């Protein structure tokens, strides 16, 4: 029998929002580091036989030195405890050009660590368990070709590990331009367990095929959803989810503003913020059906002041499109800085420093907002 911990989508190096921790680093980056550390703590506490990481260990193909150092530090804890760490590359950490190289080369010399990242299928055997690893591939055709190489090893307990979306009656994917997709009918019923990565919600796709989900929340699509790892025993497969303690992300819903004055709107938002117990949380609220001229007059300084104790407060405004005469038609107008951060942080970028792009973009947006306010 083997017991292992299924972990995925740790996205080390991911940053968001503007708050810094006590050391002057991005607070969300620190949160994401902490979630991975908790996963390693759990593996050591459970004394599992191995840790399987189903992709997107890092958030980008060129993680910062800080992210690399932290990953090495945590993986060495497993290595020194003789707990094998097997990881595949996900789409966020797979360069499209081979000459770009891979950060995973740094891990190849470590004891008890096996990484599969070159866009090719590999079978890794740990005692009597065969782990069929299919990392992210540069194209969908290449991915399909590598999947076809997977073959059950007779006399072994067979486990598969992939980083991809799954499509069928339901579709489990992230909507990213470079994601690999596997039809649900191609999932191997003969596998004892299929450890999936890429989709951020913990999901049982088939009896033996499971997304562990991300270890931290990356967007408001994940607000209120538990984050953690899956402890798996094979053969005679059994599973147990272990929840991690991560920063609360609260979607405070939508306020219909069509019959409200600006004072009513501000008061309603303040009440919801207070009810959310905002300290240290990530908050979002939507104002729907508000006239553009009315939204310009909102006391946004007062609204943000009400959420001062939150790590981040996002105000989204959906206006009535009066100019087109289509009353009731809504156009989403969000916090421009948040929209920019969400887009950039969720987009794999090669040959450019994403952190520097983020810094420059934030500076330009803040400068424009200050100019507009003068």
- Is a pLDDT exceeding 50 seen at residue 329? no
Residue 180 and residue 204 in one domain: yes
The runs of H, that is alpha helices, within the chain are: 27-46, 65-80, 140-147, 262-275, 292-296, 300-306, 336-345, 354-373
Residue 91: partners with Cβ closer than 8 Å, 6 or more residues away: 55, 56, 136, 163, 176, 178, 179, 180, 198, 348
Q: Among 191, 213, 243, which residue terminates a domain?
A: 243
Same domain, 219 and 261: no
Note the Cα 210 to chain centre separation in Å.
16
- For residue 263, pLDDT beyond 80: yes
Both 122 and 162 in one domain: the answer is: yes
Last residue of a domain, one of 210, 243, 276: 243
> Looking at the predicted structure, is the pLDDT value of residue 115 above 90?
yes
Are residue 168 and residue 317 in the same domain, yes or no?
no
- Does the pLDDT value for residue 111 go beyond 60? yes
User: Which residue segment(s) compose the domain that 258 sits in?
Assistant: 249-373
Q: Are residues 201 and 340 located together in one domain of the fold?
A: no
Helix residue ranges per DSSP H, 211-289: 262-275
**What does the pLDDT read at residue 153?**
97
Q: Is 17 left (phi over 0), alpha (psi -120 to 50) or beta?
A: left
Neighbouring-strand partners of residue 285: 315
Does 253 share its domain with 239? no
261/100 Cα distance (integer angstroms): 55
For residues 209 and 286, membership in a common domain is answered with no
Mark whether 297 and 149 lie in a shared domain. Answer: no
On the question of a cis peptide bond just before residue 235, with omega within 30 degrees of 0, the verdict is: yes
272 has a pLDDT exceeding 80 = yes
pLDDT, tens digit, 9 for 90 and up, residues 273-319: 999 999 999 999 999 998 887 888 888 889 889 999 999 999 998 88
Number of domains the chain is built from: 2
| The pLDDT value given to residue 94 | 80
Domain boundary among 198, 225, 243: 243
CATH number, residue 34 = 3.60.21.10
Nearest-angstrom CA–CA distance, 176 and 172: 12
Q: Is the pLDDT of residue 63 over 90?
A: yes
Averaged pLDDT of the chain? 88
Taking 90 as the threshold, does the pLDDT of residue 32 lie above it?
yes
Q: Quick one: 222 and 261 in the same domain?
A: no
205 pLDDT more than 70:
yes
What is the token pair recorded at 16? Answer: 């968001």
| 170 and 258 co-located in one domain | no
Question: Taking residues 340-352, what's their average pLDDT?
Answer: 60
Q: What is the mean pLDDT of residues 19-39?
A: 96
pTM value is: 0.84
> Any idea which of 59-73, 239-253, 322-336 has the lowest mean pLDDT?
322-336
**Do 50 and 93 belong together in one domain?**
yes
Give mean pLDDT, residues 246-268: 94
How far is it, in rounded angstroms, from Cα 21 to Cα 15?
12
- Whether pLDDT at 255 is above 60: yes
Q: What tokens were used for 27?
A: 């607070």
Burial class (CB in 10 A: 0-12, 13-18, 19+), 317: buried
Cα three-residue angle 84-225-223, rounded to 5 degrees: 120
Whether residues 344 and 226 share a domain: the answer is no
């Amino acid at each position: 029998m083997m017991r292992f911990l299924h972990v995925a989508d740790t996205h080390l190096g991911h940053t968001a929002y503007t708050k810094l921790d006590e050391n002057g680093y991005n607070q969300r980056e620190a949160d994401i580091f902490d979630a991975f550390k908790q996963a390693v703590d759990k593996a050591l506490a459970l004394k599992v036989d191995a840790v399987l990481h189903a992709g997107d260990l890092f958030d980008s193909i060129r993680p910062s030195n800080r992210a690399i150092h932290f990953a090495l530090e945590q993986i060495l804890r497993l290595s020194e405890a003789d707990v094998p760490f097997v990881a595949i590359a996900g789409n966020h950490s797979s360069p499209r050009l081979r000459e770009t190289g891979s950060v995973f080369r740094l891990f190849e010399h470590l004891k008890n660590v096996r990484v599969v990242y070159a866009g090719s299928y590999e079978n890794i055997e740990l005692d009597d368990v065969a782990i069929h690893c299919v990392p992210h591939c540069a194209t969908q055709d290449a991915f399909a070709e590598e999947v076809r190489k997977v073959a059950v090893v007779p006399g072994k307990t067979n486990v598969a590990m992939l980083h991809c979306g799954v499509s069928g009656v339901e579709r489990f994917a992230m909507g990213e331009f470079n994601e690999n997709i596997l039809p649900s009918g191609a999932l191997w019923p003969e596998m004892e367990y299929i450890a999936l990565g890429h989709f951020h919600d913990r999901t049982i796709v088939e009896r033996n095929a499971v997304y562990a989900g991300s270890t931290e929340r990356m967007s408001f699509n994940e607000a209120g959803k538990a984050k953690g790892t899956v402890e798996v025993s094979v053969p005679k497969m059994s599973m147990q989810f272990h929840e991690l303690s991560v920063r609360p992300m609260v979607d405070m819903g939508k306020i219909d503003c069509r019959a409200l004055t600006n004072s009513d709107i501000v008061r309603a938002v303040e009440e919801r913020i207070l009810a959310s117990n905002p300290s240290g949380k990530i908050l979002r609220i939507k104002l729907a059906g508000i006239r553009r001229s009315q939204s310009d007059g909102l006391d946004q300084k007062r609204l943000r002041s009400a959420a001062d104790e939150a790590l981040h407060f996002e105000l989204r405004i959906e206006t009535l499109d009066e100019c087109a005469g289509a009353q009731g038609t809504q156009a989403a107008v969000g916090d421009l800085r948040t929209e920019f951060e969400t887009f950039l942080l969720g987009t794999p970028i090669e040959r450019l420093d994403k952190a520097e792009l983020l810094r420059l973009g934030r500076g330009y947006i803040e400068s424009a907002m200050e100019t507009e306010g003068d």
